[in-house]
Each structure stands twice: as structure tokens, then as C-alpha cells.
Amino acid sequence: MERFYTLVFIGGVGCFAIAFLLSMIFPWMSLESFHGMDYHTLEQLAEKPSVEFVQLEQRFPAAFKEHYGEVSPASYAKALQRGRDVYVGQACWHCHSQYVRVVSNEHVRWGPPSSAQEYQNALNQPHLWGTRRVGPDLAREGGKKSNDWHIAHFINPKSVVPHSVMPPYPFYFDEKGVPNEDGFALITYLQWLGTVQAGIPVAERVTP
């Protein structure tokens, strides 16, 4: 039993492979093959720019033109990807989760529970589920708040949520509150969250 090759190939590779098969290949197969879920590329997701993206252009025409030009699938895709990059780089996902569970009344607070199909797209690769909720879950965030609310909240969270512990992110906006490239991107990304699922966003029944 304590032979070198036993340890390397049965203990090391073998046991790892069994776990790899059971906890990775099996769920992958049952999600993709058996349920036939489609994968959406960034271009497919960005085919129709969101209302909020158009509103950003109308609200800040000059700044928008400077950073993103016209509202188009291409500029929407660029903003979504960049917004996700900022979200990842600033570790937003370590304080905000992105999935609604079927327990703890989460459907009441945030909306329909998450399904696997929602995450089969380029903006969830790797997924941003998170493991901690210091702030609220964001899986159903898109469309719940206005762009202006998000701007005020990013510049100083306490101005709209008095007991918030979220740090301010004033560096994504100029002194008049006009977003810069990252500011536009972050808001566009947040307003996209949850819009893959039909029937989302839902009206809130509880203050999140």
C-alpha cells in the first residue's frame, strides 16, 4: 500500500479523478447535455441594449459620446464586459452574492429563485455567485433602481442608505456626478443583472 506508485496514481491521481468526475463532469453533463441549455455569447446578450443604457446616453450625452459613442449592440457589449471587469477587480462579488435560493424567504425579498440556464452565458464565466452577503443579493438587481440612484449610491452610499457599510466609489464619477468610462460600465452591468430571466425584474415587496 505504501508503494510510491500506489500513492501517486491511486491516492493522488485516482482519488482526484473520482471527485473530478462526480463533482464536475457529472453536473456539467447533466446541465448541458440532458437539459440542452444554450450558451449565450456576449454578442448575443448585447443584441438589444437595455433601457437603462439608453437612459444613460440621454442623461449624459457628452460623456457618453466620449466613452461609448452611440447606443449600439457593440457599445452595449463593451460596457457590459467592462462593467463586469470592474465588478470582479473591485471584489464587489465578495460582498454581494448573485443567486437567489429557494429557502429563507429569498424569493420574497429578491424575486424568483435562480435557475441554471440564467448562468449559461459569457458574463457568468467564471460565475460570480459569491459566498457572502454583506450587501444584498444582486441577481435580480437590473431595473430595480434608477441610474441616478446608483450614481448617488456609488458616490456616497450613506446618502441613500443611511446605515450602509459599502465603501464610497467616487472615483468613477467627476465632481458633478457624471460617470467616467468605468462608471458607465458598472451601472450598465448592474442594470443588466437578472434580465436574462423572463419576467424579471419583479416589483420589490420588501426593502432590500
**Looking only at residues 36 through 55 of this chain, which bind another protein when binding is defined by CB under 8 A?**
39, 42
| 126 scored as a contact of another protein (CB under 8 A) | yes
Dihedral through CA 53, CA 57, CA 58, CA 59, nearest 10?
Answer: 90
Minimum CB distance to another protein smaller for 57 or for 187? 187
Q: Which stretch binds another protein (CB under 8 A): 48-56, 132-140, 143-151, 185-193?
A: 132-140
CA distance 142 to 150: 11
| 160 scored as a contact of another protein (CB under 8 A) | no
| 27 scored as a contact of another protein (CB under 8 A) | yes
Under DSSP, the state recorded for 197 is: S
CA distance 164 to 146: 18
Dihedral through CA 116, CA 117, CA 123, CA 126, nearest 10?
Answer: 30
Binding mask 70-89 for another protein (x = CB under 8 A): -----------x--xxx-xx
Among 13, 48, 58, 159, binds another protein (CB under 8 A): 13
Burial-class residue 198 by CB neighbours within 10 Å (0-12, 13-18, 19+). Answer: exposed
Closest CA to 37 of 99, 121, 127: 121
Minimum CB distance to another protein smaller for 163 or for 176? 163
Q: Which stretch binds another protein (CB under 8 A): 59-67, 143-151, 185-193, 200-208?
A: 200-208
CA distance 177 to 171: 10
Minimum CB distance to another protein smaller for 54 or for 116? 116
Closest CA to 64 of 143, 44, 42, 72: 72
Q: Which stretch binds another protein (CB under 8 A): 16-24, 47-55, 68-76, 140-148?
A: 16-24
Q: Which stretch binds another protein (CB under 8 A): 54-62, 67-75, 129-137, 186-194?
A: 129-137
Q: How many CB atoms lie within 10 A of CB 24?
A: 10
Binding mask 169-188 for another protein (x = CB under 8 A): xxx-----------------
Minimum CB distance to another protein smaller for 95 or for 202? 95
| 149 scored as a contact of another protein (CB under 8 A) | no
